[in-house]
Amino acid sequence: MTEADLYIQYKGIYLPSLVHTAYSLKQYEEFIFRPDDIIIATYPKSGTTWMQEIVPLVVSGGDPESVESLPNWDRVPWLEIHQTSDLALSKRPPPRMFATHFHHNMMPPSFFEVKPKVIYVMRNPKDVFTSSFHFNGMTTFLVNEMSQSEYLKKFLEGKAAYGSWFDHVKGWLNAEDKENVMYIAYEEMITDLKDSVSRISRFLEKPLDADIVEKIADRCLFKNMKQNNMSNYSAVPEEFMGQAKLDFLRKGIVGDWKNLLTDAEVELFDAIYQNKMKDVKYEFAWD
Ligand code: PPS
């Protein structure tokens, strides 16, 4: 199936219509933030699910109740998807935690007035592409009937679902009110998860003892999260996400692009990356 069959266009980018409806997008635009809300913002496949595990554990001081009883999309719902429309978000106790895959300039008006805290997670785009290519193949709601090179072209041109990785990252890096945004890379979390959890706890003004940080980091290791049925998407019906073929928590490593991209694809990727990111001063963990 093609983009015309599976996607809607919203503000110039493709979104899967299974999870984004005119109704959910209107609700999203009218959403009223609170100053103590916490937003996890990511381009897809950058570490959203991982952060949907870490942040509730930090907020609860290490109490695993919510990560053991609520699926990740319920404990930290995506603001823009229609499944979220059924959740009584205004009745949630503070701090409310949300995720979004949307670009900075697509955030609703209330976001810019209230300025809640944002954790922006980034990942090497070659690994994002790799994870995304495999993920597309296991879903029925993303366009996947194309070759790797065709998908790479779309990804690099910003014509994949959720738009351009380059625009997403640059938009969030250029956010005003940077004191409300914490930037963290998937690669930093792989290198030192305890340090990442500590940084997150300081940013959220939720100081934690070293033993709690250690417990949270241990629970959030790939091998342990994979066993958590509230985080490994095993609750999603096979007709939408075919985990008989491949696990959602697939490999959880840095550099898997080396097993997928050809030399010519790497060359193309690098040339476009260098051109698109030439004015960006941020030092990325993968450079
Ligand atoms: S989504 O669909 O946008 O919500 O996907 P997202 O959660 O952002 O990204 C999925 C990738 O993150 C990996 N992942 C982890 N890696 C290491 N440790 C932990 N705990 C972890 N949790 C999720 C997941 O395996 C996907 O990456 P790949 O490369 O496909 O394995």
Q: Is 79 in the pocket of ligand 1 (CB under 6 A)?
A: no
Residues of the chain with pLDDT > 70, as a percent, come to 100
pLDDT digits (tens, 9 = 90+) for 166-180: 999 999 999 998 999
**Whether residue 247 has pLDDT greater than 90:** yes
Mean per-residue pLDDT, 238-246? 85
What atom in ligand 1 is closest to the CA of residue 221? 20
pLDDT of residue 145: 87
Q: Which of 20, 101, 103, 104 is catalytic?
A: 101
What's residue 45's pLDDT?
98
Kindly state the average pLDDT of the residues 92-97. 97
Distance CA 215, CA 217 (A): 5
Query: Among all chains, which residue has been given the structure tokens 């194309």?
Result: 146
For residue 245, pLDDT over 90 is answered with no
Quick one: average pLDDT of 226-249?
91
Q: What is the pLDDT of residue 238?
A: 86
Catalytic annotation on 168?
no
Confidence tier at 16 by pLDDT (50, 70, 90) = very high
DSSP letter assigned to residue 79: T
Our mutation pick for probing the ligand 1 site, out of 43, 49, 184, counting the most ligand atoms within 8 A of Cβ, is 49
Check if 225 has its Cβ closer than 6 Å to any atom of ligand 1.
yes
CATH of domain 3-276: 3.40.50.300
210 Cβ contact list (under 8 Å, min separation 6): none
The structural domains of the chain, with segments of one domain joined by +, span 3-276
- Please report the pLDDT score of residue 58 as a whole number: 98
Q: What is the Cβ-side half-sphere exposure of residue 149, based on CA atoms within 13 angstroms?
A: 6
Q: Give yes or no for residue 81 having a pLDDT over 90.
A: yes
Candidate ranges 123-132, 140-149, 231-240; pick with highest mean pLDDT: 123-132
Q: What is the pLDDT of residue 270?
A: 98
Kindly give the distance from the C-alpha atom of residue 150 to the centroid of ligand 1, in angstroms, as a whole number: 23
The single-letter code of the amino acid at 110 is S
| CB of 116 closer than 6 angstroms to any ligand 1 atom | no
How confident is the model over 88-99, as a mean pLDDT?
Answer: 96
Examine residue 116 and say whether the peptide bond preceding it is cis (omega within 30 degrees of 0): no
Residue 252 alpha carbon, nearest atom of ligand 1:
16
Distance, CA 224 to ligand 1 centroid (Å)? 13
pLDDT digits (tens, 9 = 90+) for 25-80: 999 999 999 999 999 999 999 999 999 999 999 999 999 999 999 999 999 999 99
Instruction: Please report the sign of the dihedral spanned by the C-alpha atoms of residue 50, residue 51, residue 53, residue 54.
Output: positive
Mean pLDDT score across all residues of the chain: 96
Per-residue model confidence (pLDDT) at position 85: 83
Q: What percent of the chain has pLDDT over 90?
A: 92
Instruction: Tell me how far apart the alpha carbons of residues 123 and 116 are, in angstroms, rounded to a whole number.
Output: 23
Q: pLDDT tens digit string along 183-194?
A: 999 999 999 999
Query: In testing the pocket of ligand 1, which one of 18, 45, 219 has its CB within 8 Å of the most ligand atoms?
Result: 45
Ligand 1 contact, 196 CB (< 6 A): no
Ligand 1 atom closest to Cα of 231? 22
> What's the pLDDT score for residue 70?
96
Among 20-24, 101-105, 128-132, 265-269, the minimum mean pLDDT is found in 20-24
Quote the tokens at residue 83. 């499944």
